[in-house]
Copies of this chain bind each other. A is one copy, B any other.
Amino acid sequence: MGKIKVGVAGYGVIGQRLADGVAAQGDMELVGVADVAPTLPVMALFESGMPYDLYTAVPEKINLLTDKGIPVAGTLEELVQKVDIMFDATSAGIGAKNKEIYKKYGVKAVFQGGESNDVADVFFHGYANYEKGIGADYLKLTSCNTTGLIRAVDCIDRKVGVEKVAITIIRRVADPGDYHRGLTNALQVAPAPNHQAVDLMTIMPHIDATGILVHTPVTHGHIITSVITPKEDISKEELLEMFEAHPRIKVVRLADGFLGNASLFKYARDLGNKRGDMYEIAVWEESIVKSGKDVMFAINIPQESVVIPENLDAIRAACGMQATRDEGTTETNKYLGMAYTRE
């Protein structure tokens, strides 16, 4: 099998990172990215010397790009014809329209959490239901919070079984650089149960989940506290061991200076990670407590980048690159350098 050819529609917060993620996979080829206007990410691509070819998603507006001197390699429709599979990271609702183009040329596609579920055949998570995605034509990924949460729940579920989950999502309200949404000196309560609990049950129907989401005026990562009822009693030490063995979970300690979501962002910047991104969720060791059989702990969700690995898993499943969850996620992890475990 040659390299799988991939295109990315929508070069925003997620699209940029999907493109970089594909470019890092030794067995995939990034054919190009598509967008409409000279947004800051597109201008940054241009100022960086066009490492990726850019296609216009709206041909009649090509001058928005060419007027800035940005070279345009063609149209989205042309890009689609050159690839095996598309990542669709456009604004919610656009993906459903783009799907017509993908269908026209018999190209598979992976949609993001903002699209409605019926755009896809499979609602996908690399660790929780990889096998369901095998050979599928249209997959939708879980959103950032659900993706990260399921990693932790699935990790416990595979060891001892999970009966139910009650989560509190302390949600960052905007990404760094967002000016079109924000919250100032306020916490905002969302109607319960939150969609992440509902989505978790869709992906893992044997678990009872509920939860409350509260928006907070910060930008560097959601924090989720989970009260989990396992089927078998587990100790804090056993739980820590499970988390430390998971390639997409990083155990951190308050005592080491990881005081909250902003410490993790700072650390990722200091590591030299592109954009200060992290693919791992983090679990705070000192947050783990027990109450009877229940375990409770806090995790950090790096909202801009956490979904990238599971998206790459989706390509592996859909294109039949690896036949099992273990093989598929292992390849993704290898190319993303996610073998970190704390000594």
Q: Which residues of A contact B (CB under 8 A)?
A: 16, 38-41, 43-45, 47-48, 69, 164, 166, 168, 170, 172-179, 181-193, 208-212, 214-221, 223, 225, 227, 254, 256-263, 265-267, 269-272, 274-276, 284, 286-292, 294, 296-298, 340, 343
Contacts and interface: CB of A to CB of B under 8 A. Distances in A.
Given A185-B185, A187-B218, A225 B254 contact: no
Nearest to A193: B289
Given A184-B217, A185-B220, A178 B44 contact: no
13 contacts: A39-B257, A40-B267, A164-B292, A168-B225, A176-B269, A177-B266, A185-B218, A210-B291, A211-B289, A212-B298, A214-B225, A215-B260, A217-B218
A40 B178 CA distance: 27
Given A44-B271, A178-B262, A287 B212 contact: yes
Given A40-B256, A178-B184, 6 more contacts: A177-B263, A177-B267, A187-B218, A189-B259, A227-B227, A272-B275
A287 B167 CA distance: 12
Nearest to A340: B47
Nearest to A41: B270
B216 A186 contact: no
A254 B343 contact: no
B296 A170 contact: no
Contacts of A220: 176, 185-187
Contacts of A174: 184-185
Contact of A186 (B45, B192, B254, B260): B260
